[in-house]
């Protein structure tokens, strides 16, 4: 079938909305009519080349929609089911799946970086040429064909723009706080970078009863949004940031510091905001090949822990519905993350707004 999709043909050129051919789903694959897709820095890194990926490519990894077709041996979803797309599918049977780390499943991670589905091919073509799918999804498109484990059923009452954000920003941010840090009531936290992921961290900390919750960013508008999400203190990033964080935490530093940007120099500064015995949790993706320098003597003498979290250390089959119900039960308000919606034709405008850094999450709606 013919579909409209955003196509990236070469680095540092705008996304182009083109007509592509989408083949039907094969065995254990699902065709989804995309209803919403979040505008995320991970897709922008494809354009700049900071994330290396084969081209030509349909980006988009934070999406939600409705199942409109299934291949043979599909048992988890049916036509008509609303789903959030999971960019870290898993086999459910390997060492990492059994260890509760499905996002590290090697069956999917290899193909995830190859731009194809599990059989080594894609379902997209443009002018007779194969087109790769970002993270096995490629959901900046009217329709996509994905592996069955990449479809997680969601409540039918959940708005699709919010369902899309659960597919990446919400799960990455809330999972970092609730799954990785297991933050407890009364523990202190600081979040560096309050875009979609960082704001989700603030929401999760507020839900868990963390105090204080310090949000740090370079944009005053985003700090205002962070306050509505539960931040008790907000700081513009400058030479006084670290002293202010210590002031808010009785001179010690925060129990947990979360970095949601992926900038090595910021990651290094974050370590100084961690109290002795506390933890720095890195959720932002640094450019491939970059290095972050942490002083071993400080880690040893002050017993600070530095750890990463990928996709919020989540199990999407459990966490997607969990976060959806927290929103529907009005325990968290994920709508605060959505700054503006755009049609697919305005995708470059949406990324321009994101790069200005003055809003929360933009969402493409179909």
pLDDT in tens, 271-327: 999 999 999 999 998 888 899 999 999 999 999 999 999 999 999 999 999 999 999
Give the span between the Cα atoms of 191 and 173, in whole angstroms. Answer: 10
**The three-state (H, E, C) secondary structure of the chain, written as one string:** CEEEEEEECCCCCCCEEEEEEECCCCCCEEEEEEEEEEECHHHHHHHHCCCCCCCCEECCCCEEEEEEEECCCCCCCCCCCEEEECCCCCCCCCHHHHCCCHHHCHHHHHHHCCCCCCCCCCCEEECCEEEEEHHHCCCCECEEEEEHHHEEECCCCCCHHHHHHHCCHHHHHHHHHHHHCCCCCCCCEEEECCCHHHHHHHHHHHHHCCCCEEEEECCHHHHHHHHHHCCCEEEECCCCHHHHHHHHCCCCCEEEEEECCCCHHHHHHHHHCEEEEEEEEECCCCCCCCCCCCCHHHHHHCCCEEEECCHHHCCHHHHHHHHHHHHHCCCCCHHHHEEEEECHHHHHHHHHHHHHCCCCEEEEEC
Burial bucket for residue 16 (CB in 10 Å: 0-12, 13-18, 19+): middle
Cβ–Cβ < 8 Å for 87, 137: yes
Going by C-alpha positions, the residue among 263, 253, 337 that lies closest to residue 303 is 253
| Residue-level pLDDT at 274 | 98
Question: Per-residue b/e over 19-58, b at no fewer than 16 CB within 10 Å?
Answer: ebebeebbebbbbbebbbbbbbbbbbbbbeebbebeebbb
Of 35, 32, 40, which is closest to residue 146 (Cα–Cα)?
A: 32
From the CB of residue 69, how many other CB atoms can be counted at a distance below 10 Å?
16
- In this predicted model, what pLDDT tens digit does every residue of 26-41 receive, in sequence order? 999 999 999 999 999 9
CB atoms within 10 A of CB 210: 26
CA dihedral 153, 158, 163, 165 (to 10 degrees): -150
- How far is 26 from 107, CA to CA, in rounded Å? 18
Model confidence pLDDT, tens digit, residues 124-173: 999 999 999 999 999 999 999 999 999 999 999 999 999 999 999 999 99
- Please give the mean pLDDT across all residues of the chain: 96
Judging by beta carbons within 10 Å of its beta carbon (0-12, 13-18, 19+), is residue 296 exposed, middle or buried? exposed
Tokens describing residue 25: 């789903």
- Residue-wise pLDDT for 35-77, tens only, equals 999 999 999 999 999 888 999 999 999 999 999 999 999 999 9
Question: Above 80 in pLDDT, residue 358?
Answer: no
In this prediction, residue 113 carries a pLDDT of: 87
Predicted confidence at residue 82, as pLDDT, reads 98
Distance CA 301, CA 25 (A): 55
Number of neighbouring beta carbons within 10 Å of residue 240: 11
The pLDDT tens digits of the residues spanning 286-300 come to 888 899 999 999 999
Q: pLDDT tens-digit profile of 75-114?
A: 999 999 999 999 999 999 999 999 999 999 998 988 888 8
| pLDDT tens string 179-217 | 999 999 999 999 999 999 999 999 999 999 999 999 999
Q: What is the pLDDT of residues 160-183, one digit of tens each?
A: 999 999 999 999 999 999 999 999
Spatial separation of the C-alpha atoms in residues 182 and 324, rounded to whole Å: 19
Burial of 183 (0-12, 13-18, 19+ CB in 10 A): buried
Q: How far apart are CA 162 and CA 187, in angstroms?
A: 28
**Would you state the pLDDT for residue 359?**
79
pTM of the predicted protein model: 0.95
Q: Report domain 2-169+313-365's class.
A: alpha beta
CA 287, 289, 295 angle in degrees (round to 5)?
Answer: 95
Q: Is the pLDDT of residue 21 over 80?
A: yes
Q: What fold characterizes domain 170-310?
A: Rossmann fold (3.40.50)
Across the range 222-241, mean pLDDT stands at 96
Domain boundaries, the chain: 2-169+313-365, 170-310
Q: Stretch 239-259: mean pLDDT, rounded?
A: 97
Mean pLDDT of 316-342: 97
Cis omega (within 30 of 0) for bond into 293: no
pLDDT of 252: 96
């Amino acid at each position: 079938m013919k579909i409209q999709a955003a196509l990236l043909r070469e680095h540092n050129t705008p996304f182009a909305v083109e007509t592509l051919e989408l083949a039907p789903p094969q065995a254990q694959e699902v065709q989804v009519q995309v209803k919403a897709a979040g505008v995320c820095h991970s897709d922008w890194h494809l354009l700049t080349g900071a994330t290396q990926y084969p081209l030509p490519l349909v980006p988009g990894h934070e999406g939600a929609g409705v199942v409109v077709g299934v291949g043979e041996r599909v048992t988890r979803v049916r036509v008509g089911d609303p789903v959030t797309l999971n960019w870290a599918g898993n086999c459910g049977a390997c060492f990492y799946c059994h260890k509760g780390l499905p996002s590290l499943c090697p069956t999917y991670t290899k193909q995830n970086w190859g731009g194809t589905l599990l059989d080594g091919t894609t379902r997209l073509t443009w002018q007779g040429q194969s087109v790769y799918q970002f993270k096995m999804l490629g959901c900046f498109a009217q329709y996509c064909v994905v592996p069955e484990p990449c479809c997680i059923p969601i409540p039918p009452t959940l708005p699709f723009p919010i369902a899309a954000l659960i597919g990446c920003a919400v799960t990455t941010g809330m999972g970092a706080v609730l799954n990785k840090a297991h933050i407890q009531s009364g523990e202190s936290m600081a979040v560096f970078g309050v875009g979609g992921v960082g704001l989700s961290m603030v929401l999760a900390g507020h839900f868990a009863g963390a105090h204080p919750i310090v949000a740090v960013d370079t944009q005053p508008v985003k700090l205002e949004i962070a306050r509505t999400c539960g931040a008790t203190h907000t700081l513009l990033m400058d030479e006084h940031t670290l002293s202010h964080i210590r002031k808010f935490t009785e001179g010690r530093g925060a129990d947990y510091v979360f970095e949601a940007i992926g900038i090595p120099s910021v990651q290094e500064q974050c370590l100084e905001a961690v109290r002795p015995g506390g933890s720095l949790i890195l959720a932002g993706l640094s450019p491939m090949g970059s290095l972050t320098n942490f002083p071993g003597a400080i880690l040893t003498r002050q017993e600070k822990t530095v750890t990463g979290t990928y996709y919020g250390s989540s199990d999407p089959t459990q966490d997607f519905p969990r976060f959806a119900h927290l929103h529907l039960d009005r325990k968290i308000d994920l709508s605060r993350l959505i700054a503006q919606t755009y049609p697919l034709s305005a995708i470059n405008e949406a990324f321009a707004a994101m790069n200005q850094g003055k809003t929360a999450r933009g969402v493409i709606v179909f």
